[in-house]
Structure 1
Amino acid sequence: FFSMTLFVSSRWWILSLFFLIFLCAIALRVYNIDTAPPGIYPDEAVNGMNAYDALTSGNYQWFYPDNNGREGLFVNLIALSFFLFDVSFFSFKLPSIFFGVLTALGTGLFAYEMFYSTRWRVHAFFIGFFLLSTSFWSLVFSRIAFRAVAMPTVLVFSGYFLLLGVRTLRFRYFAISGFIFGLGLHTYISFRIAPLIFLFFACGLLFIYRNFLSRYWKHGVLFLAFSILSMTPILVTFIQHPEFLTSRSASISVFSSQDSLSGTLSTLSETLSLSIGKYNFWGDQNWRHGFPPYPTLEPFVGVLFLFGLCLSFYQFIRLTVLRLAEHQRVSIPSLFQTPSDHHVSCAHLSWLPTHFLLLAWFFSMLVPEFLTVEGLPHSLRSIGTLPVVYLFALLGLFTILELTRRHSVTLFRFSFVFLLLVVVYSGVFDSVKYHVYWAHNTNTAEAFNKNLTDIGLAIKQDRTSPGQRYVIAGPLERVVVKLLTTSVDNVVYVYSEQVDTLIHPNGSFVVYLSSYDDAIINNLFDRFPEGHITSYDNTLNSRFWIFTNTSQ
């Protein structure tokens, strides 16, 4: 999985640095998990309740149709976490934490293989691992119970083992890569376009290497076989329930409107520019996904990403033209073989398949975002680009270092120290941005419906209130309270129009309201004049109301 010679042949500080970054990745995702983010969003709560119901009933599913449909892997992992640690904020978010840390580690490993033919491979591992460990974008989704967080993990580890297999020619790595890749279909709807990534990578390998197909066709078949093996359960589910395949994607597609061809192309150009621009200029304006109006990436990392993306695109075109014009092909798969000089640059012809892979990964995983018109920019739909964005940043960073190294030793040393400080600064910047500013922002609390979480905690903690408890909430809002009160029995959920029929006119009871509705409050006072209403003001401007009636 990871060459132990890296540790054996290096000094003890390399192992220490690895564990330091690893612990940092865990700590940043576990710290204050019950208050950051400040609430549980209803879409998260649906995952939690499906997991709780599956755990208590034993009815685990490969696909859960509630809330527009969701692949079952993530929900079932939440159920496992509930089984091991009972229902809590930590157990609810544990699968997200797990995938977030794995994505950071996987990005470092992928970077190690990607830069294997250069002097920077060890640096690439640690910097990639650190940047993903501290990334604001990664932290946001590593602490929210959304299934999408599993997709980058699948992509980066499948890619890592594939690169390892190409380099070593060992069948087991292709089998592992294929099996992990197949699991991606169990993660998030955007993954359905992911096969394009490895298809383009395969085309790049065929394009540049002589006799590649004759040498690797068995490995490719093994990859496909294990991919199909792990996909089979959910493929069978889709065959039995074809309606699950469409979900809500059709209703938000750019092609769902009645625009003309020119209008559709205009819309596509707008959505594509918004999708690409979010990394450096104008980010996701949803407080659950980002920090409006700022871009997704920290400024320094954003510049490195943009440089790396443009560099990769330029080298892709240049090397393709060179390959076609001069009919050059590499006789053996030397893409990942360590040359004697240890500094093959990304301009070398053997890097062409890597540019195929990076560009295909980036634009394929942007498709689910820019082919939709709702809520752009949208960093959740494009979460599949998370690892590759930082890989582009690494490409830009090490290209700068290589250029300065060839210019002068003094300039190289200055650039190395400066860029190292930039990396550390970026990690600190994003960590503080999340835990100090974003997590304690009233806009974030409002976006996560913090008052619903406060109601659930109030019911769970206050077991002395007399009589029946009623919660007036919509179909999704009530799920948040249900998830937090699984251990409380006397809770009845009421729609606003059902207040007259479901609230018993006699005896003591309390009514929880997430908003002050004059019609409901007046109705309750007309029927129960001895009751009283109390406003509960919580942190971050969160407020809910309790109507209490103690008459017998």
Structure 2
Amino acid sequence: MNKSNIDKILILILTLFAFGLRVWQLDNVPPGWRDDELINSLVISQKVLDGDWAVFYPDASGHEALYHALNALTLALLGVNVFGIRLLSAILGTLAIPLIWLFGRRLVGRWGALVAAGMLAVSFWSLMYSRFGLRHIQTPFITLLTFYFFWAGLTVSSERKASRYFGMAGVSMAAGFYTYFAARGLPLIWLALMGYVWLAARERWQARWRGMVLGLVVTAVLILPLVITLRQQPEAEGRVTELAIPLVAARQGDFAPLGKHIRITLGMFHANGDDEWLYNIPHRPVFSLPIGVWFWFGVIMAGWQALRPFLQRQSANHTALASALLLIWWLAGISPGFLSVPPASLGHTILAQPAVFMLAGLPITLAHRTNRYFAPLLVSVLILVTGIRDLPDYFTNWPQRGLVRFLYKADIHDVAAYLNTHPELTDFGITGLLAGPWDRLALTVDLHKPTLFRPRWFNPERALLLQPSVSFGGYPDVPFAYEEAFWPLPDVPGTGEYQLSQVTYDLNETAEPTCFTNGLCVVSAVYDTETGFLELGWKVAKPLTLPPMPLISNPPPPGVYAGPRLLVFAQMLDTNGNFLAGDDGLWVDPTTLYPGDLFVQRHHLPVNMDGGMVAYGLYDPMTGERILTKDGRDHLSINLQKEEQ
């Protein structure tokens, strides 16, 4: 069997292994759902399914459309579940493996390409972005495709074929613009490469400059709809402005933040990496120190090879051009880490990812020239050492960290796992901070039969669900207003930080509840003049009449209201009915309530004020409109003067 066939078998095995790593335990690592994933799929990709086609969506600080169009296909085919949301990223991350090998053979040789593909397959960096439903992972694939075609156009003998390849590279580069803002650095790399070819390989420049310009023109034409859209809604790209803090400081004459970010980003490969728990074990570098030194040796080699044509006053050969491509690609790809926060961000620098691993494969060519039997051994060692470090870090160490579990709602994931094995528990409460609908949706997505369960969400800082009388409590770690009401059920194991508990609380219900037109009824109202607590008991008399509550991203699109549509107002008024103080809130998710449900919540009003009355009721905070009682009143009240007498 010849070397070519052996390599093809090896890369096939490696690709299948890489795909296995990207789908194995996909429902458990990451340990749950983060808000961004749910927003990406359930809000933005859902717009594609709903027929709301666009090249750019202003939701969540702005999203290009291509990844969401593809994600809509997986959602339509597989449903809203772990594979519907995450499989696209796993596929894109896997496809980068054979592509980096195919391209790497042309740039860094046979053994260097195997190093790049093998290290990428097992790397923490690639696994992180290949296993959740965010658009970042499409960038390495598109970047590889772009420069694969660019290189083919630069090196092919036929000028006609060269123009075709450059045109295909232009199409691929345009696709990058429709994927993620980091891909906007691709034209800068392209232009820098054109400059290098003009300076170091003038004959090749004369033969290929028209094709290179053609590729740029193709890109410019294809991205025109996106450019027009962004010019019409510049506020939609708020995220870019939010992150460019070092650049803003430099424009004001303060270069210290920029210098710090450059230093940290250059150290991300061997010393000090991304500090965000969402994407990394904080400050963990991309490579271990020995592999990091090996990588920097590759960078130095590339720099030397790229400079040789100028030092020796000769035209750049294949090696010099390949080295220049990798070096320019790497520098341009990590530059967002220089210019934005946080420095060394694995997400912002993902454009450089393929170049990083090919630079790590570059020194293997020198080893192969020294001893042809040494190269296969060194390839195995580099991949093995990377895997031994990165695989346990990703699959074991990172997901077990407390802050990672919090950010990915791992405790909610654990509740879902319990419910999936206990289908008899259909009606229950569950505590949360109610910061948007994302906790509720995280639980729904993880349930095998979501229509079987009817969870009621409430914030334990202010509220308590009395009926149903069992709730998952104990989480999040905040002061519970009614902590004494939770009695953990015996013989029921904890689900993460949650504990299934019986809820017992003595609510003094009034003889005649007062009902509002939307279906909520006040059954108890007590104001404690010593503590300032207004305790209101509520019962759901019928299916609630609620205004439309569509899913809105966080942050919402500019000008779109994303707040609640139903709140309880509680006001302290003086004897003349003038407002003194208030405390508004509804600490139960009204979309999760059913007829017969009963809950109590606590409002904080000041004591020692000349208050004559406490007024309370319901209203829509978006419109300010109060909801009337069935007998036409827009509020209810407690006469404090009468109580004092």
* TM-score for the superposition, normalised by structure 1: 0.79
- Secondary structure of the residue aligned to 1:518 is coil
Aligned to 1:99: 92
Structure 1 position 130 matched with structure 2 position 118: yes
Asked if 1:152 is matched to 2:140, the reply is: yes
Change (3 A) 1:516 1:444: closer
Matched residue, 1:480? 442
Query: Match of 1:393?
Result: 360
* Letter matched to residue 191 of structure 1: A
Kept in 1: contact 2:271–2:289 (CA 8 A)? no
**Are 2:303 and 2:327, in contact at CA under 8 Å, matched by a contact in 1?**
yes
The 2-side partners of 1:218 and 1:417 are apart by 41
- Work out whether residues 303 and 324 of structure 2, in 8 Å CA contact, stay in contact via their aligned partners in 1: no
The match for 1:416 is 375
How far residue 279 of structure 1 moved from its aligned partner, in angstroms, is 0.6
Cα pair distance change 1:207/1:241, threshold 3 Å: same
1:209 aligns with 2:201: yes
Q: Which residue of 2 aligns with 1:13?
A: 6
In structure 2, the partner of 1:434 is 394
More strand by share: 2
What is the SS of the residue equivalent to 1:517?
coil
Task: Report if the CA contact (8 A) 1:137-1:297 is conserved.
Answer: no
Alpha-carbon shift at residue 443 of structure 1 (Å): 5.4
1:195 paired to 2:187 = yes
In 1: Cα distance, 2:421 partner to 2:40 partner = 23
Q: Which residue of 1 aligns with 2:408?
A: 448
2:176 maps to which of 144, 165, 184: 184
- Listed one character per residue, the Cα deviations across residues 490-539 of structure 1 (whole Å, up to 9, x for unaligned) are 45655678848xx6x766675767414334435xx7xxx6x756698667
Contact 2:111–2:376 (CA under 8 A) maintained in structure 1: no
Q: Which amino acid aligns with 2:100?
A: T
Instruction: Note closer, same or farther for the CA distance 1:521–1:376 as it changes in structure 2 (3 Å cut).
Output: farther
Q: After TM superposition, give the deviation of residue 174 of structure 1 in Å.
A: 1.8
Aligned-partner SS, 2:61: coil
- CA-CA distance at 1:304 after TM superposition: 1.9
Q: Could you tell me how far apart the structure 2 residues matched to 1:209 and 1:231 are?
A: 30
Q: Whole-Å Cα distance in 2 between the matches of residues 309 and 211 of structure 1?
A: 27
Paired residues of 1:130 and 1:427 also in contact (CA < 8 A): no
Distance 1:533 1:279, change over 3 A: same
Q: 2:349 corresponds to which residue? A: 382
Q: CA deviation at 1:198?
A: 0.9
Structure 1 residue aligned with 2:286: 296
Name which one, 1 or 2, has greater alpha-carbon Rg: 2
Instruction: Determine which of 245, 250, 259 is the counterpart of 1:253.
Output: 245
Q: Which amino acid aligns with 2:378?
A: L
Alignment match, 1:226: 218
Separation of aligned partners in 2, 1:163 and 1:109: 12
CA contact (8 A) 1:456 1:480 kept: no
CA contact (8 A) 1:49 1:483 kept: no
In structure 2, distance between residues paired with 1:247 and 1:59:
22
- Distance in 2 between residues matched to 1:512 and 1:80, nearest whole Å: 37
Q: 1:464 to 1:66 in 2, by over 3 A?
A: farther
User: Match for residue 478 of structure 2?
Assistant: 517
Alignment partners' CA distance in 1, 2:212 and 2:3: 35
Give the corresponding residue for 1:543. Answer: 497
User: Could you report, residue by residue, the CA deviation over 1:212-252 in whole angstroms, capped at 9, with x for unpaired residues?
Assistant: 45422442243124323542443343133222234343355
Q: CA RMSD in A?
A: 3.3
Match of 1:139 in 2: 127
Pair 61,550 (structure 1): closer, same or farther in 2 beyond 3 Å? farther
TM-score for both structures, normalised by structure 2:
0.69
The match for 2:513 is: none
Residues 1:538 and 1:125: Cα distance change in structure 2 (over 3 Å): farther
1:3 matched residue in structure 2: none
Cα distance in 2 for residues equivalent to 1:195 and 1:188: 14
C-alpha separation between the residues in 2 aligned to 1:440 and 1:174?
46
Summarize deviations over 1:447-506 as a string: whole Å, max 9, x none. Answer: 433123334555666554465756632127435335446943845655678848xx6x76
Instruction: Give, in whole Å, the separation in 2 of the partners of 1:498 and 1:419.
Output: 61
Secondary structure in 2 matching 1:355 = helix
More helix as a share of residues: 1
Residue 22 of structure 1 is matched in structure 2 by: 15
Q: How many residues align?
A: 496
Q: Which amino acid aligns with 2:478?
A: D
Give the deviation of 1:432 after TM superposition: 3.9
1:343 corresponding residue in structure 2: none
Ranges in structure 1 where 5+ consecutive residues have no aligned partner? 1-6, 116-120, 336-345, 405-411
Closer/same/farther in 2, CA of residues 520 and 490 from structure 1, 3 Å limit: same
Whether the aligned pair in 2 keeps the contact of 1:284 and 1:378 (CA below 8 Å) is yes
In structure 1, C-alpha distance between the alignment counterparts of 2:501 and 2:59, rounded to whole Å: 31
Contact 1:55 1:83 in 2 (8 A): no
Q: What does residue range 296-335 of structure 1 map to in structure 2 within 5 Å?
A: 296-323=286-313, 328-329=314-315, 335=318
Q: In structure 1, give the amino acid aligned to 2:286.
A: T
Spell out, residue by residue over 1:124-163, the C-alpha distance to the aligned partner (whole angstroms, 9 max, x if none).
3333222211222111211122211111111111111111
Identity of aligned residues (%): 22
Structure 1 residues 517 and 300: CA distance shift in structure 2, 3 A: closer
Match of 2:323 among 355, 367, 370: 355
Worse-matched range after superposition: 129-138 or 460-469: 460-469
- Judging changes above 3 Å, is the alpha-carbon distance between structure 1 residues 62 and 465 closer, same or farther for their aligned structure 2 residues? farther
In the other structure, the counterpart of 2:612 is: none
**What is the deviation of 1:203?**
0.9
Q: For the Cα contact (< 8 Å) 1:51–1:78, is it kept in 2?
A: no
How far the C-alpha of 1:298 sits from its partner, in A, is: 3.5
